[in-house]
């Protein structure tokens, strides 16, 4: 079964998300020795103790984020760059921060080769976000903090949405959606997940 069909069968229905998943070549974002498994619906190691997320989870989180073509998006945890590429298909601008310098450089190079001029990658500690480009319409975390870092909430614009796995390492984390209406923020849990921990410099 095609990867896109598997994702659709598990409930992801947004046609823009499915088309972005179809257009982005996941094989370009995995190490050469993992290329044979790139089309499978499962996570894969990308080095430095990090992984490229399962395509279903990428699609599900992207659908939850509800990105419009006018949006500016902040991603914390570039990793392979795959999620950033998906977001780049949907948003006006994507700013992505990766704490592992080698991964940031590799992701930036692949994104550049594939022509994603609207995706900007920076190496650094994601706790502080990317204040120069705030406020953001949407924020996604692809590593799990025990609580959402306050600077990220500050950089989320009014009416914005944040999607993140939240919870302790080694235990159940919950994919959490936080909507910021005016000055209040309301969060809801969706599905249990397992992500790499949100680390600090």
**DSSP secondary structure string, 127-163?**
GG--GGGPSEEEEEESSB-SS--HHHHHHEEEEEEEE
Matching residue, tokens 């992801």: 12
Quick count: other Cβ atoms within 10 Å of Cβ 34?
A: 16
145: exposed, middle or buried (Cβ count in 10 Å: 0-12, 13-18, 19+) = buried
Q: What is the chain's alpha carbon radius of gyration, rounded to the nearest angstrom?
A: 15
The Cα 183–Cα 9 span in angstroms is 37
Helix (H) or strand (E) holding 88: helix 82-90
Q: How many residues does the chain have?
A: 201
CA dihedral 5, 10, 191, 137 (to 10 degrees): 50
- Judged by phi (left if over 0) then psi (alpha if -120 to 50, else beta), residue 161 lies in beta
Instruction: Give yes or no: 96 in active site.
Output: no
Q: Which residues are catalytic?
A: 53
């Amino acid at each position: 079964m095609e990867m896109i069909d598997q994702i659709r069968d598990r409930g992801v229905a947004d046609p823009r998300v499915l088309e972005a998943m179809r257009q982005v070549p996941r094989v370009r974002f995995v190490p050469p020795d993992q290329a044979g498994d790139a089309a499978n619906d499962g996570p894969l190691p990308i080095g430095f103790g990090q992984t490229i997320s399962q395509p279903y989870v990428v699609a599900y989180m992207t659908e939850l984020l509800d990105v419009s073509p006018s949006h500016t998006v902040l991603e914390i945890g570039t990793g392979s760059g795959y999620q950033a590429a998906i977001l780049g298909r949907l948003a006006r601008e994507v700013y992505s921060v990766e704490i592992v310098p080698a991964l940031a450089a590799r992701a930036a190079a692949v994104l550049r080769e594939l022509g994603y001029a609207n995706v900007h990658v920076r190496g650094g500690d994601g706790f502080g976000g990317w204040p120069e480009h705030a406020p953001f319409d949407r924020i996604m975390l692809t590593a799990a903090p025990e609580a959402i870092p306050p600077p990220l909430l500050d950089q989320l614009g009014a009416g914005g949405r944040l999607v993140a796995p939240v919870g302790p390492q080694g235990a159940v984390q919950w994919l959490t959606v936080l909507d910021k209406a005016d000055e209040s923020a309301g969060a809801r849990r969706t599905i249990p997940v397992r992500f790499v921990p949100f680390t600090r410099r």
